Amino acid sequence: MSANASRQLPKNALQRVQIGQAFAEYDQSLKRKDVYVHTPAFAAADNFENSRCFFVGRRGTGKTTITKYLEETRGEVHVIRPDLFSPSHDWFTVEALQKGNARPFKSLVAAFKCALLGYALNNVSSVKGRLSGISQDLRNAIDADNDYDFDLAALEMIDRIMQPLVEKEERQWHIEIKRPKAMLREMNDHKILGASPVTILFDAIDESWDGSSHAVIYLAALMHATLEINTQLIGARVLIFLRENIFERVRVVDSEFARLETCVVGLDWTQEQLLEMVERRLNAGLTAKIPLKGETWDAFFEGRGTREAVFDYCQNRPRDVLTYVSLAIDNAQSHGHERILLEDLYDARRRFSTSRLSDLGDEYQENYPQIALVLSRFYGLGQRWTSGGIASLVEKLIADPEVKAGCAEWIYRHSQTEQFARLLYDIGFVGFVLTQRDKSKKTVFRSVGPRDTTPPPISTNTDLVIHPTYWEALDLQDVLVTEFKEGQGFGSVGLVEELPNSWDLDTYVGELLNREQVLKTLPSGEESATDYEDLVGDVLKLCFFRYLANVQDQVRTHENTMRRDWIASNRAENGFWSIVRQRYDATQVVFECKNYSELKSSDFQQVAYYLDERKGRLGFLCFRGEVSKHHWQHVKENLASKKILILPITDKDLAVFLRQARNGKVKDSHLADKLDTAERL
């Protein structure tokens, strides 16, 4: 035990510890500046002069934490959560767009540059006072209604530039392609953005991500536009926060990726930084602070090996560490311990392991739909595998009816042993056992930042080890699997939940695909209003069955005076639905359906009339158009005056819910972003 381990904590200090939420979007402790750890990625985002602008990491590595810090501390910070990365109109084929020096891709880049410049002109507060002497063209770029939406502006600019290119109107295309250059020059000449630095920040790109090749090209174009804006525009910078799995797809398809690579910041964490993160949060509730760099840890944790039990067990991700330590603190508090014991950490492992396994499936569902099914097939098997063992397992997986139904989109492309092993390595599920020069063995797991372009080599003699994080959840045996024997069946793990109506996976996916098609083809208007209501109800039942129960349509009050299109019981125990139940007494949730694109103030008044303290103060207004600023103004007014929250839901949102459910599970973060937007108004 270290010399500082005997430091005495104040009486009942552990019982009062609140280490904070592992999910940054819900973490109230982030309101305190002293809990932030200044990692290299954090420092790069905080420094306006830094040239790196793409922040890449796996889920839970601190992207949202950085955005929250910038919003709270750095003046003009504007966060965009785009919905346009599921393009419905493809002007060119993927093959044509992939050529970085060709006109189609250059047109996309120019469109995004125009949209970004327009966003700066319409949202930066200092612009209005600096318009003297500017051209009419630049004035036209400023929305008179102050209702500038980045998604709509980008799509409009894409159409304006692509149409003359497709129709071979050479002169008009040259006019459009040169527009961003002229805007940039004039904005710089007139110092439109002023002296105070402005940050435009893209986050949550994956929430409306449809995984298509066109979506990847759109993102690549946005990244190139961002790089050009940052090097050419005075007074503003653009930052993009990306999940590693999406970033990797850009790396593969972008022929000009070398231009971007020098501006990438990885969200890797060292054990020293993770230790500091935990210590800062443990210290937050103390009047007399304990020094960092181990002293705080030794004051709160008792016994040798506690650091190794946390940091070696987790995958160097802050969210994992916070989740695991929080569970251990719960154990210590429930047993009345004065400090956190090694046994508290070990007792927390199964809960943490189960949570982490589910989270892994969610993280990669966009790249590998229903990958949780494949991971669940390891249940009860071995912790270590030979190449031959993996080969026989893959043969069994491909013959599995459920795997064929849910994973056909990708499983056959990874049917070779090396391909499958690399997939498991890339998602962090397994590590490779490599022989060092001194003949010793070392297990290598991948990092949490941007993927190394030269992953460790593997051969037929390379063994694989499943990461210890998942051993408890999968009840893995301490054995080396050399063969998955013929006739041997898979075990059963509670990872894949029962589906609605006791459907098998094939039927469930078919129902989701059917609703996706209905959503695309259903016309708006009074004649199909009932069909739209039915569609919304189906989405609720198919996508939110884990959280919402007793979904009923056309519910009347006992006085028979009010009728809601849908009402559901909120029975969630965690995540978004649990939070809104606590904040807004939302034991019941109302969904009102409007089969038209233009919402009126009376629509918000109608939903507000349905909500009360007894049933809950949360409602959703589903409609066929786009959410605009005046819609959010209605949300703000209701939240301020009546303490009720009405969130607008569009076709794009319904499409996200259906796609995520088809890929494995609906993620809370999409709705959490809407909640976050509403509460910041």
Model pLDDT for residues 403-430, shown as the tens digit of each residue: 988 898 899 999 999 999 999 998 999 9
Within this chain, do residues 460 and 606 fall inside the same structural domain, yes or no? Answer: no
Average pLDDT over residues 316-329: 91
pLDDT digits 0-9 by tens, 107-118? 999 999 999 999
Confidence at 24, pLDDT banded by 50, 70, 90 = confident
| Joined tokens for residue 133 | 């002497």
Do 179 and 113 reside in the same domain of the chain? yes
Mean pLDDT, the chain, as a whole number? 86
Residue 433 and residue 522 in one domain? no
Compute and round to an integer the Cα radius of gyration of the chain. Answer: 26
d(CA 626, CA 650): 6
490 lies in a domain?
no
| Same domain, residue pair 467 and 602 | no
Q: What is the pLDDT of residue 560?
A: 46
In the chain, how many domains are there? 4
Q: Are residues 259 and 276 in the same domain?
A: no
Look up the pTM and report it: 0.75
The confidence score (pLDDT) of residue 227 equals: 94
Domain boundary, last residue among 324, 347, 370: 347
d(CA 9, CA 489): 53
Encode pLDDT of 472-518 as tens digits. Answer: 999 999 889 988 776 666 765 544 456 788 787 788 888 999 999 99
Task: Establish if 30 belongs to a structural domain.
Answer: no
* 234 found inside a domain: yes
- Amino acid in position 381: L
Which of these, 386, 83, 22, lies nearest to 206 by C-alpha position? 83
What is the per-residue burial (b if ≥16 Cβ within 10 Å, else e) of 522-551?
A: bebeeeeeeebbbbbbbbbbbbbbbbbeeb
Whether residues 181 and 299 share a domain: the answer is no
Q: Which of 347, 376, 397 is the last residue of a domain?
A: 347
Look at residue 32 and tell me if it is in a domain: no
Burial of 579 (0-12, 13-18, 19+ CB in 10 A): buried
- Regarding whether 425 and 294 lie in a shared domain, the answer is no
Question: Is residue 293 located within the same domain as residue 328?
Answer: yes
Residue pair 368/339 in contact by the 8 Å Cβ criterion? no
β-strand 301-302 against 340-341: which pairing, if any? parallel
User: What sign does the dihedral 5-8-11-13 (CA atoms) show?
Assistant: negative
Examine residue 68 and state whether it is found in any structural domain, yes or no.
yes
Mean pLDDT is lowest, of 203-212, 620-629, 640-649, for 203-212
Give the 3-state secondary structure percentages of the chain, helix then strand then coil, rounded to 5: 50, 15, 35
Looking at the structure, tell me whether residues 533 and 581 fall in a common domain. yes
The whole domain housing 176 covers 40-266
Asked whether residue 489 is domain-assigned, the answer is: no
Q: Taking residues 601-613, what's their average pLDDT?
A: 88
pLDDT at 217 over 70: yes
The reply to whether 280 falls in a domain is yes
